[in-house]
Amino acid sequence: MALDGLVLANVVHELKTTLVGGRIDKIYQIEKEDILITLRNQGSAYKLLLTANSNYPRVHLSTLAKNNNQEPPMFCMLLRKHLGGGKLLDITQPDMERIVCFSIEATNELGDKEVKQLMIEIMGRHSNIILLKQDGTIIDSIKHISLDKSSVREVLPNRTYVRPPSGDKLNPLDVDEMTFIAQLQAKNLPLFKALYTSFNGLSPIFAQNLCVESDLDSQAFATSLSQEQLTALFHSFSNELKKVKDALFTPTLYLDEKELPYDFYCFKLSNLETLEQKAFDSISHLLEQFYFERSTHFNVAQKTGDIKKLLHTFLDRSVRKKQIQEKALEEASHKDLYKIYGELLTAYAFQVEPGSPSFTTLNYYEEPYAEITIPLQEHLTPIENAQAYYKLYNKAKRTELAAKEQLTVIEEDINYLQSVLLSLDLLETKEDIDQLRSELIEMGYLKKRKGTTKLKSNKKDLPFLHFKSSEGHDIYVGKNNYQNDMLTMKFAKPNDLWLHIKDGPGSHVIIKSIDGASISEEITLEGAMLAAYHSSGKMSSHVPIDYTYKRNVKKVPNAKPGMVIYTNFKTLYVTPTEAFTKKLSIL
């Protein structure tokens, strides 16, 4: 993932063209480290996303980002105070660093106009969003960095802002041939490493591309190259940087053999030319398509880590309970033998010698009749031994009955917990997470948090995953057990097709019928692929999927959420793929 200084130059050019001169309308902090700013410019509204997320830091225009926070955090309130209603004057990228500076003119509390700077530093785990006064004093930042965390620089309120150190790297836009060659020869590194450690904004993948275009070995050292080779490398370098100066960007997404996003860049790269390519008119659109799903899953994983840990604890506990009950059943399996012992001792008590450790007789309760030896307690009479075996028989019978009942309950719990664990991968929004927490509270797995309030849902937006079949049918997938119940029992119509993995945890899938018409085999297959992908069989092949009309699906009274019974079904086998799922997806 090469979001380097050159890609950022593409982003800055797009943002300047689109946003400069516009006014800030609203500011949200949609995640712990994500800021969403809505602006209006020349009669159009835009969303600007800035994220200092250590895994996926970036800045670009967005169409998918939404605010789900009811109460804005302190940093968000600070930005609203200083930047609300402000005019965006300029957007710059100093020295081709992975830093973007937004200069914003806004009115202060006294009614005077002041220029503030909103900086985003895209530096991996050191990424940050920082608000500055015009003189460079830090007002605040989304991450506070003190000297005990970093000996290089502080990022704290009222400190003077200092850019992250870049070592001896140079601005690639200002380098001549002599400086370029001298800088590379001074590095005792393979050529591609010498390139990206010598100049700001260059990523390893771009450095390797320069070597390929110059027909040079990327592992060679600059000191081993001839003057002609170094000159050829500089010309390739200059040609690429001229594209940046002239804003001749060609945003390109590279896909792997499964047609899934592999990498991207602001130019076409020779070293990735064997991969399938997808061109974009907007670098923001490309970045959003590449990052949105990954960052969403990362944020959800962070917020649901406690739920996942708790579910695994309950699941392990249920598995241990199951093992105990299965052992009890195994022990109770000898109950019929105890009864036979009791019956034979009662019948032949007169033949048993007092104080004998055992008694051997013919077992006429089982064919073919054979001799059987009955262990005895020597201090008991034959009748007392028989009574002891009757007690063991009755106890084993009660144990067997109770163990079977417990196993049914335990297996239901295991299936339910596995279905909830599966649903964690499908959650997308804060509402999805809150809905799952509510479900687990109602089922007794979680305790209700103090001060939590029920969020109001937007009734216009369906909470389910939404797909479109190749023939235009709407296909919906539940993201948790509550949604599965809602989707199947309330949303679906009798003639809609219902699909679910056979004998395993998974999402309910509904294919909507168009005007009551029957659903073709091709569309049923597409729905089955979605059902398999959103189930425990996601990584398997030949996954069995049951399907029937919704009218044949019934809710079991008092059953856990998502648990249903169905009749008149058929089964087909599919091998799910992520690429196929994405083709049907509606963002």
Model confidence over 312-343: pLDDT tens digits?
999 999 999 999 999 999 989 889 899 999 99
Choices 1.10.10.10, 3.60.20.30, 1.10.8.50, 2.40.30.10: CATH for 172-298: 1.10.8.50
pLDDT tens per residue, range 99-158: 999 999 999 888 889 999 999 999 988 999 999 999 999 999 999 999 888 778 899 999
- What sign has the CA pseudo-torsion 168, 171, 174, 177? positive
pLDDT band for position 25 (50/70/90)?
very high
Assess contact for 381 and 388: CB atoms under 8 A: no
* Three-state SS at 140: strand
- Please answer whether residues 550 and 495 qualify as being in contact, where contact means their C-beta atoms are separated by less than 8 angstroms: yes
- The helix (H) or strand (E) run that includes residue 238 is helix 227-245
- Residue-level pLDDT at 455: 47
Task: Determine contact, residues 531/506, Cβ cutoff 8 Å.
Answer: yes
Which tokens is 272 given? Answer: 């990735």
Average pLDDT of span 553-580: 91
SS3 279: strand
Q: Taking a C-beta distance cutoff of 8 angstroms, is the pair 531, 500 a contact?
A: yes
What is the spatial distance between Cα 99 and Cα 390, in angstroms, rounded to a whole number?
83
Positive or negative, the CA dihedral 46, 52, 56, 58 is positive
| Segments making up each domain of the chain, as ranges | 5-141, 172-298, 310-421, 465-584
Whose CA is closest to 385, among 351, 341, 324, 425? 341
Report CA 336 to chain centroid distance, whole Å: 53
Q: What's the half-sphere exposure (Cβ side, CA atoms, 13 Å) at 257? A: 0
Residue 453 banded pLDDT, cuts 50, 70, 90: low
Domain 5-141 in CATH: superfamily? ibrinogen binding protein from staphylococcus aureus domain (2.30.310.10)
Q: How many residues does the chain have?
A: 587
Bridge partners of 475?
467, 511
d(CA 267, CA 269): 6
CB 519 within 8 A of CB 535: no
Distance between the two ends of the chain, CA-based, in angstroms?
Answer: 22
Q: What pLDDT does 305 receive?
A: 87
Q: In sequence order, what are the beta bridge partners of 49?
A: 36, 60
